[in-house]
């Protein structure tokens, strides 16, 4: 139990738990294939480091409160990994909307592609996503997005659709970028 006014020292187990949490947040929110491969190595290594630090503190009869705090931080890592992957596009959209208010207002008036959003994958098997506006607010499923795509006269099959705001979606194509729509450089 924490005693008011008593300070918890930041020992190796807390530091390694915080590093694990930060790494989980970073690797969960990153689409880059190189980061994925690096994450496969880094996350287990940080977890093992945390276990070794905690084991050493237990062997040396370290501070139990510090070990509990480190355990709580470490247990948040899988949640941080999942949350950063799930919230990445929503947070990016909110940031984009704040900085591109004119383009957002214009996009609300018509259906269509607003801007290229992201591109990830390896050469020959790229995924490209686009921010699109749908005034009917009805393309939350892949089937509905495919109907919308055909109405818009777009050539590439949509393989995923995610609603990020009312009437705004991120649609993803697989290895087929929409012609004439520039994608951001990663």
pLDDT in tens, 96-114: 999 999 999 999 999 999 9
Q: Give residue 8's pLDDT.
A: 56
Q: Among candidates 83, 124, 131, which has minimal Cα distance to 108?
A: 131
**Counting Cβ atoms within 10 Å, is residue 129 exposed (0-12), middle (13-18) or buried (19+)?**
buried
CB-CB neighbours of 20 under 10 Å = 23
Higher-confidence residue: 6 or 50?
50
Q: How far is CA 2 from CA 57, 62, 73, 108, in A?
A: 18, 15, 16, 52
Which range is least confidently modeled, 22-31, 77-86, 93-102, 169-178? 169-178
């Amino acid at each position: 139990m924490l005693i008011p006014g008593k300070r918890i020292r930041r020992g190796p187990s807390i530091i390694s738990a915080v590093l694990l949490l930060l790494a989980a947040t970073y690797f969960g929110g990153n689409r880059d294939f190189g980061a994925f491969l690096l994450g496969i190595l880094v996350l287990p290594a940080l977890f093992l480091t945390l276990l070794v630090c905690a084991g050493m503190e237990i062997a040396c009869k370290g501070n139990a409160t510090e070990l509990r705090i480190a355990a709580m931080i470490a247990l948040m890592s899988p949640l941080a990994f999942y949350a950063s992957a799930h919230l990445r596009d929503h947070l990016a959209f909110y940031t984009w909307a704040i900085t591109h208010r004119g383009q957002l207002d214009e996009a609300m008036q018509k259906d269509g592609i607003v801007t290229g959003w992201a591109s990830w994958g390896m050469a020959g098997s790229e995924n490209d996503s686009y921010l699109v506006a749908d005034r009917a607010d009805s393309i939350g499923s892949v089937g509905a997005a495919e109907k919308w795509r055909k109405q818009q006269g777009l050539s590439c099959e949509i393989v995923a659709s995610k609603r990020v705001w009312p009437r705004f979606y991120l649609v993803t194509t697989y290895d087929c970028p929409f012609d004439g729509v520039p994608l951001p450089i990663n």
